[in-house]
Amino acid sequence: MIFIVALLSAAAWAQTADLIVENANIYTVNRAQPKASAMAVKDGRILAVGGDMARYRGARTRRIDARGATIVPGMIDSHGHMAGLGDSLETLDLREANSSGEVARAVERAARTKPKGEWIRGRAWDQTRWPGGEFPDSAELSRVSPEHPVYLTRVDGHAAWVNRRALEIADINASTQDPPGGRILRDKQGRPTGILIDRAQGLVSRKIPPAGVEQVRARILRAAKECARLGLTGVHDAGVSERELTAYHVLAAGGELPVRVYAMIGGPGQLWEEYLKRGPELGDYLTVRSIKLVADGALGSRGAALKEPYTDEPGNRGLLILKEEDIERVAKQAVARGFQVNTHAIGDRANRAVLDAYGAALGGANDRRFRVEHAQIVSLGDFPLFRKYSVIASIQATHATSDMRWAEKRLGPARIQGAYAWQRFRKLGVRIANGSDFPVESPDPLWGFYASVTRQDHTGMPAGGWMPEQRLSPEEALESWTIGGAYAAFEEKTKGTLEPGKFADFVMLSTDIMKIPPAEILKTHVRMTVVGGRIVYQEKP
Ligand SMILES: [Zn+2]
């Protein structure tokens, strides 16, 4: 009898939640139960989703009254660069500075928080915004930062403003000659003023030491916290180095990562060879089971590989960085060892080359879930190849809204039909995963959600949206930011929707993004981010 009682109470205990969220407007992304008002969590996973959670309540259950707030599954950025984001967060953003004095004050603040000798970097200053509009000089920076070398790039990247310490380290003085393609600005006595034009910037930038292990770890952690703040619970890091992966291992082992990371091995080097031997590494916070390749460049700089020349530069078809046979070789290695291949392809020629290489390794329909990263410009006749080889289109909605002003100039009216064409994928039954490519774009998934449903910039232009037939509905957009990313990482059984058994990864928002006018999406903020039942970010009241 005692034995039975013990069993019964164990069963009851097993049903007692650690956390219950009530009075919420929950979008589950689970088609079998799309809406709910409450959710119970136990041991980091969802115990129940529905209405009344009273029977899961115990003495130690933490209760959160959502007061009607909207909850969605934790958003997944399927293509970002964590160390890059951390690096940009460490770099002073000087875009808004209205005088050289404002820049100097920002440098002074940075100098107070860094050990002596460490570099202070900044970007995007623009002297044309300042009184007088003249280039500044090194003295102003040297006064506020005598011990830290300072390197600040202009908004267009064509000039750098440095302090005396940086000039000393680079050994630039009155007798230094201008390098080819560059100029050192000088005063009347011929002394360097601290402004370096074009290639002269390299004289100093080359002296900035690459980040060490500790610094990389700090950058990744900083970026991960920023992601959690923005409502991301998962990030696919699109190409990591050995050093970055080491940092991830340390952070994951220490339980320090606030978001889950799906790290792609950055290219077929030594790290790839090692992983081919050991096989995929699966974990709750860190998974390594894919490789990232890069097939071509970008559209803005006309590096994307096109089948026919650029409309605005006849004779230039861009460049394939990898040969098709190289992609095929890696794809076959990956198939043999249970890895996924994720290849950057922007231009229609690059997309076709990747699809053909994948096809040679995959044969036909499959569950390898190979991905094309960006899948930006695809010939209309090539779309079915995504379907044929079960390839996922890993898109970035904000790339469309950043590029829309000039994309058609590059491509002309015919090719643009297959550019950023998300609904063409969807209508063929091709899976899409959404992302931002941060730090190229903002990591804010709500900006990505907005771009997905509007195809407009933040002022609401163009009216009706750019190529509006390619917009995603709010439901499709939310899927692409949640279950789409989970599927693209083989993680749809544990992530991407809110249903019993899955990880308790969810986000509480200040508005109902599924119902409000799009302009209000941009004013939405994240109230709380929960990963594995743990609050990793909470807005200050
Ligand atoms: Zn990228």
pLDDT tens for residues 51-82? 899 999 999 999 999 999 999 999 999 999 99
**Tokens standing for residue 92:** 């002073």
In the numeric block, the tokens 């970097």 are attached to 121
Q: Would you place residue 146 in the very low, low, confident or very high pLDDT band (cuts 50, 70, 90)?
A: very high
Distances in whole angstroms, Cα of residue 118 to Cα of each of 110, 147, 215, 222, 315 = 10, 8, 11, 18, 46
**Ligand 1 geometric centre to CA of 10 (Å):** 49
For the segment 23-39, the average pLDDT, to the nearest whole number, is 98
Kindly state the percentage of the chain with pLDDT values over 70.
97
For residue 15, how far is its CA from the centre of ligand 1 (angstroms)? 43
Q: Using 50, 70 and 90 to split pLDDT, how confident is the model at 14?
A: low
Give distance in angstroms: CA of 451 to centre of ligand 1: 18
**Cβ contacts of 213 within 8 Å, gap of 6 or more:** 243, 246, 247
Residue 132 has pLDDT above 70, yes or no: yes
Q: Which amino acid is at 259?
A: V
Reply yes or no on whether the pLDDT at 367 is more than 80. Answer: yes
The pLDDT, as a whole number, for residue 1 is: 46
Picking from 388, 293, 300, the residue whose alpha carbon sits closest to that of residue 341 is 293
Domains of the chain and CATH, by start: 2-70 (2.30.40.10), 120-205 (3.10.310.70), 213-524 (3.20.20.140)
Residue 442 has pLDDT above 90, yes or no: yes
Span 462-467, mean pLDDT?
Answer: 97
Residue 7 has pLDDT above 70, yes or no: no
Q: Note the pLDDT tens digit of each residue in 215-256.
A: 999 999 999 999 999 999 999 999 999 999 999 999 999 999
Q: How far is the CA of 80 from the centre of ligand 1 (A)?
A: 6
Q: 6-15, 86-95, 132-141, 201-210: which range is least confident on average?
A: 6-15
CA of 438 to the centre of ligand 1 (A): 7
How many Å apart are CA 126 and CA 108, to the nearest integer?
19
pLDDT at 209: 93
The alpha carbon of 135 and the centre of ligand 1 are apart by a number of angstroms equal to 34
Q: Find tokens 């003249």 and name the residue.
A: 134
Residue 393 alpha carbon to ligand 1 centre in Å: 14
- Please tell me the predicted confidence (pLDDT) of residue 155: 87
Q: Which residues contact 263 (CB under 8 A, 6 or more apart)?
A: 236, 237, 240, 244, 245, 248, 286, 287, 288
Cα Dmax for the chain: 99
Q: What pLDDT shows up at residue 378?
A: 98
Q: Are 195 and 159 in contact (CB under 8 A)?
A: yes
Decide if 346 contacts 320 (C-beta within 8 A): no
> Helix, strand or coil for residue 143?
helix
Is residue 397 over pLDDT 60? yes
> Separation of 524 CA from ligand 1 center, angstroms?
26
Return phi, psi of residue 306, to 5°.
-105, 155
500: confidence class by pLDDT, cuts 50, 70, 90: very high
Helix (H, G, I), strand (E, B), or coil: what is residue 328?
helix
pLDDT per position as a tens digit, 289-320: 999 999 999 998 899 999 999 999 999 999 99
Task: Give me the pLDDT at residue 157, please.
Answer: 85
Closest CA to 31 of 492, 506, 526: 492
Cα of 224 vs centre of ligand 1, distance in Å, is 16
Q: How far is the CA of 440 from the centre of ligand 1 (A)?
A: 8
Please list, residue by residue across 435-447, b when 16 or more beta carbons sit within 10 angstroms of its beta carbon and e when fewer do: bbbbbbbebbbbb
**pTM of the predicted protein model:** 0.90
What is the identity of the amino acid at 102? E
* Exposure letters 451-482 (e unless 16+ CB within 10 A, then b): bbbbbbbeeeeeeebbbeebbbebebbbbbbb
Question: What's the CA-to-centroid distance between 252 and ligand 1, angstroms?
Answer: 23
Q: What is the pLDDT of residue 249?
A: 98
